[in-house]
Amino acid sequence: MADRTRRATLHDLTEGRPPIVLAPHPDDESLGCGALLAAAFAGPGARVVCMTDGGASHPGSLEWPRARLAELRAGELDRAIAALGGDPACVTRLGFPDAGMPELAHRFEEIAETVVRIIHEAEARVLIAPAPTDPHCDHEATAEIARIAARRAETRLLFYPVWSGWHDPSYRARLLHGVEHRFDASGWRAAKAGAIAAHRSQLGQVVRDDPGGFVLPEAFLGQFESGDEVYFEGAA
């Protein structure tokens, strides 16, 4: 391990308070933070803020038009949170259009204020957001909103990678982070697997009339089904 890599307990990452996890889409919370969320739900609790409706994953489907797919994905998120030990009251849905967050750049300050309110309501000390190196516009936008919110709330900010390593194994160098926290997911692996499995629409198990629609690659899923969860602190 590099000098900047540290083993981290739940308390190290949450300071004994409910963490606030920002998920660009339903499923990011399970992939990147499933074990930490399961541990938090068994302890101090947690809040998940889902930024978008997730309705853009299968644009060619007639059976599942955007509004219907977004409704389905909302239910999948509820089931994923239940698999992790939480309940729907733990989730805040902002409902922004999937793949449309860059168009909301003029509202980032306003959106950050919503996140700040949630931080204060939960008396959270840690905000967790997708890594800015994730090559997806909604992930990048969420990371920027998290930076604003963490600064205003004067809380710690951790970044979790989802797509970063899949597209660029050397992404750590671009993060310019201070510490890489590694959280042992082994005790929560079954709960995390159940949460990922709840997102059936993204696993190719629901939408049948859009061959070009989005499906999480099996090899990609394998990155999250074993090993530690990774959280970066002090990332640029």
pLDDT in tens, 161-182: 999 999 999 999 999 899 999 9
Average pLDDT over residues 103-127: 98
Looking at residue 146, its pLDDT comes to 98
pTM to 2 decimal places: 0.97
Mean pLDDT estimate for the chain: 97
What share of the chain has pLDDT > 90, as a percent?
A: 97
CB contact at 8 A, 232 and 175: yes
Identity of residue 83: A
Give the model confidence (pLDDT) of 148-158 as tens digits: 999 999 999 99
How much is the pLDDT for 3?
65
- Between the alpha carbon of residue 35 and those of residues 12, 50, 141, the distances in Å are 14, 17, 24
Helices (H) then strands (E): counts for the chain: 9, 8
- CATH 3.40.50.10320 corresponds to the domain 5-233: yes
Instruction: Evaluate if residue 126 carries a pLDDT over 90.
Output: yes
Question: Taking a C-beta distance cutoff of 8 angstroms, is the pair 236, 176 a contact?
Answer: yes
Two tokens, residue 193: 């697997």
pLDDT digits (tens, 9 = 90+) for 13-72: 999 999 999 999 999 999 999 999 999 999 999 999 999 999 999 999 999 999 999 999
**What pLDDT sits at residue 142?**
98
85: left (phi over 0), alpha (psi -120 to 50) or beta: left
Residue 94 has pLDDT above 70, yes or no: yes
Asked whether residue 211 carries a pLDDT value surpassing 50, the answer given is: yes
Give the pLDDT mean for 205-211.
97
d(CA 230, CA 180): 7
pLDDT confidence tier of residue 1, bands split at 50, 70 and 90: very low
Map out the domains of the chain as residue ranges: 5-233
Helical packing angle, 66-83 and 28-41, nearest 10°:
30
Find where tokens 């201070």 sit.
178
CB 127 within 8 A of CB 97: no
Shortest CA distance to 130 belongs to which of 120, 140, 117? Answer: 140
Q: Does the pLDDT at position 235 exceed 90?
A: no
